[in-house]
Amino acid sequence: MTSAANSNTDFIDLGPFKSAQGVVALPGSKSISNRVLLLSALASGTTRLKGLLDADDTRVMRDALKTLGVGIDESDGDCVVTGCSGVLPKDAADLFMGNAGTAIRPLTAALAILGGDYRLHGVPRMHERPIGDLVDGLRMVGATITYEQNEGYPPLKISKGQIRTDEVIKVRGDVSSQFLTALLMSLPLVARNEVCIEVIGELISKPYIDITLKLMNRFGVTVRNDQWQRFYIPANQGNPYAAPGILHVEGDASSASYFLAAGAIAGGPVRVTGVGRNSIQGDVAFAEALNRMGANVMAGDDWIEVRGVDTPSGRLQGIELDCLAIPDAAMTLAVAALFAEGPTKLTGIASWKVKETDRIAAMEKELQKMGAFVESGDDFIQVTPPSKWQTPATGVDTYDDHRMAMCFSLAAFGPLPVRINEPHCVAKTFPDYFAAFGKIAQGSTH
Catalytic residues: 328
For 97, residues 6+ apart whose C-beta sits below 8 A from its C-beta are: 60, 64, 103, 104, 107, 120, 121, 122, 126, 154
Name which of 167, 68, 79, 141 is nearest 111 in CA terms.
Answer: 68
**What phi and psi, each to the nearest 5 degrees, are found at residue 5?**
-155, 115
Q: Are 297 and 305 in contact (CB under 8 A)?
A: yes
Alpha-carbon distance of 139 to 142, in angstroms, equals 5
How many of the other CB atoms lie within 10 Å of CB of 201? 11
**What phi and psi, each to the nearest 5 degrees, are found at residue 347?**
-115, 175
**What phi and psi, each to the nearest 5 degrees, are found at residue 269?**
-75, 140
- The distance in angstroms from the start CA to the end CA of the chain is 8
CB environment 144-181: b (16+ within 10 A), e (fewer): ebeeeeeeebbbbebeebebebeeebebbbebbbbbbb
Alpha-carbon distance of 389 to 385, in angstroms, equals 9
Name which of 392, 377, 367, 318 is nearest 347 in CA terms.
Answer: 377
For 100, residues 6+ apart whose C-beta sits below 8 A from its C-beta are: 34, 56, 57, 60, 61, 122, 126, 428
Strand partners, 382: 345, 375
